[in-house]
Structure 1
């Protein structure tokens, strides 16, 4: 069973250690107004068997935010990214107003396998240039492919074992936060 890695008892201070151990963990970067969508994405990943770092459960980060301690917030984010192999940046119109998402992208750009996940209704061409260089996931179909690649397991096996839900399934837990399938590539 996957988990939110904040709860994992071992925190690695070194990126080299994370890489050498083959740790698979997705850092979820998002703007606070997209917290509900981010929670659904995190739960979907955990259900599929992928560990995540999702800030909602990071008590240290919450206290740092409440006390306006920018240094401690930065340290928490860096620790989360350093303990992750992948980064998933959730993009919505709210992202453009974020002060922390650009920092997270900049810090994790060369450290993680960076992907951008478009939330429902993000029109083609609306992504800021600084995130167009990453792998862009526009729909549930592509997200399921990404998950199967992270886990190195076939998508059909993950769907058959109910670890993942087909993009065409109307009961897919992500159907209200992501488009099911977009045939027009982002380019």
Structure 2
């Protein structure tokens, strides 16, 4: 089982330092109203053996956010991204009203492998302009492929070891928040 990187005792000052050591970690970017789906995605990736940075467990960030200390919030986000090899931006209608998601994308754009994950019902034309240059994960099928790529394990291995679920299974924990498969456009 993987972990939330916030709890990992070693923090890296730069992405290059983390990457040189082979660290694979996914920074989960989301709007606060999408905390529940973001938590499910983080749990899904950790079950697949992939470390994540998910802000819900970063107590320092919570304190800075609640005290309106924008500088400290920015520093905490930068540390999370610097300790990550990948960034997964969750997109929902709430994302359009986010003040922090665009900052996270801008900061992580050339520092991470950037992916955009569409939550259930997001149409291709419904994506904000600032995310259209990233790799798009439209459905659970795509997420399973990306999970396999990041983990370095074949999708069949992940499925047989119950680290991920079939995209079309009602037992998939993401079934209520993501489309199973989208074909065409």
Shared fold by TM > 0.5? Answer: yes
Shorter-normalised TM-score: what interval? over 0.9
Q: For the residues of structure 2 that align with 1:65 and 1:124, how far apart are their CA atoms?
A: 32
Q: State the alpha-carbon separation in 2 of the partners of residues 163 and 147 from structure 1.
A: 10
Deviation at 1:22, TM superposition (A): 1.1
CA distance in 1, matches of 2:101, 2:16: 24
Question: Structure 1, unaligned stretches of length 5 or more?
Answer: none
1:80-123 CA distance string (max 9 Å, x none): 00000000000000000000000000000000000000000001
* Counterpart for residue 105 of structure 2: 105
The one-character-per-residue Cα deviations of 1:5-64 (angstroms, maximum 9, x if unpaired) are 000000011222111001000000000000000000000000010000000000000000
CA distance in 2: counterparts of 1:180 and 1:33, whole angstroms: 22
Aligned to 1:67: 67
Could you tell me the TM-score, scaled by structure 1's length?
0.98
**Residue 50 (structure 1) aligned with residue 50 (structure 2):** yes
- Count matched residues: 185
Which residue of 1 is the match for residue 30 of structure 2? Answer: 30
Q: Give unpaired runs (5+ residues) of structure 2.
A: none
For 2:90 and 2:46, locate their aligned partners in 1 and report how far apart those are by CA, in whole Å: 16
CA distance in 1, matches of 2:113, 2:31: 20
Q: Which residue number corresponds to residue 133 of structure 1?
A: 133
Q: TM-score, normalised by structure 2?
A: 0.99
Tell me if the contact between 2:15 and 2:85 (Cα under 8 Å) persists in the aligned partners. Answer: no
**Is 2:176 the counterpart of 1:163?**
no
**Stretch moving more, 120-129 or 29-38:** 120-129
Equivalent in the alignment of 1:117: 117
Q: Which residue number in structure 2 is paired with residue 14 of structure 1? A: 14
**Aligned with 2:171: secondary structure?**
coil
Aligned-partner Cα distance in 2 for 1:41–1:180: 14
Runs of 4+ in 1 over 6 A off after TM superposition: none
